Amino acid sequence: MALDRLGSSLYDALKKVFRAPVIDEETVKELARDIQRTLLQADMNVKLVLEISKRIEDRALKEKVPPGVSRREHVIKVVYEELTRFLGEKPVPLKVEPGKRKIIMLVGIQGSGKTTGAAKLARYFQKRGLKTALVCTDTYRPGAYAQLQQLANRIKIPIYGDPKAKKSAVIASDGLRKFDDYEVVIIDTAGRHKEEKSLIQEMKMLEKAIRPDEVILVIDGTIGQQAAIQAQAFHDATPIGSIFVAKLDGSARGGGALSAVAAIGAPIKFIGTGEKINDIEPFVPSRFVGRLLGMGDLESLIEKVREAEVHLPEKKMRAFLSGRFTLTDMYDQFESMKSLGPLRHILKLVPGLSYNIPDGMMEMAEDRLKKWKVMIESMTPEERDNPKIFTSSRVKRVARGSGTNEKEVKELLKQYSMMKKMMKTLRRKRLPFFGKKFPIPQG
């Protein structure tokens, strides 16, 4: 399952929470099961997955909900927090001080994405105004220098290398001398090693010669959980190491790779999300989860949940529940949702909907609301308060008066009776969350 698919599946799971009339044990258990299934499909470690789904369930059911927070908000917050924890608690940025030289050495097995990653990192620091250079020490692979040179030329970053030289350590120190007054020097290395052992040996040798400030292990994200083995070996060998997980775009196993690496506590500092030079980003677990879910950070997420639950005076609420719900009341409800912004915006705020509503449909919804207004205005006060009295001749009159047609008037009436029915069900169930807030109608 590619990461975007993973994201939309998690989103679907959350959507159920959002739409459930009541957040009870059954809803929470179903959510935990959905998340479990989704993560397993994304090749995540079984033990980790069971752990996370259990924690979500436990916290959602047992934790006391703080005052002013609905159970629904709380559950979504728990999911968000636990997914974030799953991918590493806090971002670990790669710090570069302007005016001081930072030597970064990239290691990793052949094909993992080192050379591409070196160019991406160079571009990343260049964009941040730092004087950046590249050094190629890969003396094994024919064309290794040419590959990096081509990338470097494209972004106008100076590069040092010597395709004819044999000793990588010598090239590295020559390069470092040449780029003495640079702020970031990124050293690409050979990755001919098939196994971690020799890779780490070479890494240690080069490390002695270069004395880099930071060694970054580049891991191919498509290898899934296997990434943990590489990361662990590396993590054990050097305390200053960090990880760059490449190829997270469209990979079936990216989630597995990320979570496996995060689980061993090796800091993931960057991720590669495509073949292009700009496809790099610092790894920020919470932001990553937010994006995965198609939402922003937790705060904006909770805000969205709140905005989507429209406030309603308690008196009115009680009246609704006792069956006094008129067409005007229904219209007011939609109108008050609209007052939060255009309907398009409001609907987008409802988790789950933004994934499903095509643009054209959103416009229709807004158009429809306008039509409803005109139709309701064309009704007599009796009709608004008691739509039961509608006969076909009344429907005809309203259609004519509002410049709509009978079908549209009937649709409005149908929507009304559906909502009225919903009110009745809500009254019967005596929903705990249904105190001061009015849920956004679905559909």
In 3D, which of 233, 217, 226 has the Cα closest to residue 268?
217
Which range in 235-243, 244-252, 391-399, 433-441 contacts ligand GDP by CB under 6 A?
244-252
Instruction: Rank residues 3 and 79 by Cβ distance to ligand GDP and give the closer one.
Output: 3
Name every residue whose Cβ is closer than 8 Å to that of residue 320 and which is 6 or more positions away in sequence: 312, 329, 423
Asked if 82 contacts 51 with a C-beta cutoff of 8 angstroms, the reply is no
Structure tokens at 437: 């807030």
Which range in 61-69, 106-114, 246-254, 356-364 contacts Mg ion by CB under 5 A?
106-114
Which range in 87-95, 208-216, 242-250, 327-335 contacts ligand GDP by CB under 6 A?
242-250
Instruction: Rank residues 38 and 147 by Cβ distance to ligand GDP and give the closer one.
Output: 147
Angle at 17 between CA 13 and CA 22, to 5 degrees: 150
**What does 366 bind: ligand GDP, Mg ion, none (CB cut-off 5 to 8 Å by kind)?**
none
Compute, in degrees rounded to 10, the torsion defined by CA atoms 221, 223, 224, 229.
Answer: -100
Angle at 26 between CA 21 and CA 32, to 5 degrees: 110
Instruction: Rank residues 199 and 398 by Cβ distance to ligand GDP and give the closer one.
Output: 199
Asked if 438 contacts 312 with a C-beta cutoff of 8 angstroms, the reply is yes
Asked if 4 contacts 427 with a C-beta cutoff of 8 angstroms, the reply is no
29 alpha-carbon distance from chain centroid:
23
Pick out residues in 271-330 that bind ligand GDP (CB under 6 A): 272-275, 279
Q: How far is the CB of 270 from ligand GDP (least distance, A)?
A: 10
Instruction: Rank residues 114 and 269 by Cβ distance to Mg ion and give the closer one.
Output: 114
Q: What is the DSSP string of 6-52?
A: HHHHHHHHHHHHHH-SS--HHHHHHHHHHHHHHHHHTT--HHHHHHH
Q: How far is the CB of 248 from ligand GDP (least distance, A)?
A: 7
In 3D, which of 25, 27, 1 has the Cα closest to residue 14?
27
Instruction: Rank residues 32 and 152 by Cβ distance to ligand GDP and give the closer one.
Output: 152
Can residue 115 be called a binding residue for Mg ion (CB under 5 A)?
A: yes
Instruction: Rank residues 184 and 280 by Cβ distance to ligand GDP and give the closer one.
Output: 280
Count of residues that interact with Mg ion, criterion CB under 5 A: 2
Cα torsion angle, 218, 220, 226, 228, sign:
positive
Name which position in 21, 55, 110, 384 contacts ligand GDP (CB under 6 A).
Answer: 110
Q: Give me the 315-344 binding string for Mg ion, x by CB under 5 A, dash otherwise.
A: ------------------------------
> CA 281, CA 7: separation in Å to the nearest integer?
18
At 239, which amino acid appears? P
Q: How far is the CB of 44 from ligand GDP (least distance, A)?
A: 20
**What does 272 bind: ligand GDP, Mg ion, none (CB cut-off 5 to 8 Å by kind)?**
ligand GDP
Can residue 116 be called a binding residue for ligand GDP (CB under 6 A)?
A: yes
Structure tokens at 103: 């030597």
Locate all alpha helices (DSSP H) within 104-253, ordered by sequence: 114-127, 144-154, 168-178, 196-210, 227-237
Which range in 113-121, 240-248, 295-303, 425-433 contacts Mg ion by CB under 5 A?
113-121
Name which position in 108, 255, 387, 439 contacts ligand GDP (CB under 6 A).
Answer: 108
Q: How far is the CB of 245 from ligand GDP (least distance, A)?
A: 9
Which range in 226-234, 267-275, 380-388, 434-442 contacts ligand GDP by CB under 6 A?
267-275
Q: How far is the CB of 267 from Mg ion (least distance, A)?
A: 23
Q: How far is the CB of 199 from Mg ion (least distance, A)?
A: 13
Angle formed by the axes of helices 71-86 and 298-308, to 10°? 160
Residues in contact with Mg ion by the rule CB under 5 A: 114-115
Residues in contact with ligand GDP by the rule CB under 6 A: 108, 110-116, 191, 218, 246-247, 249, 272-275, 279
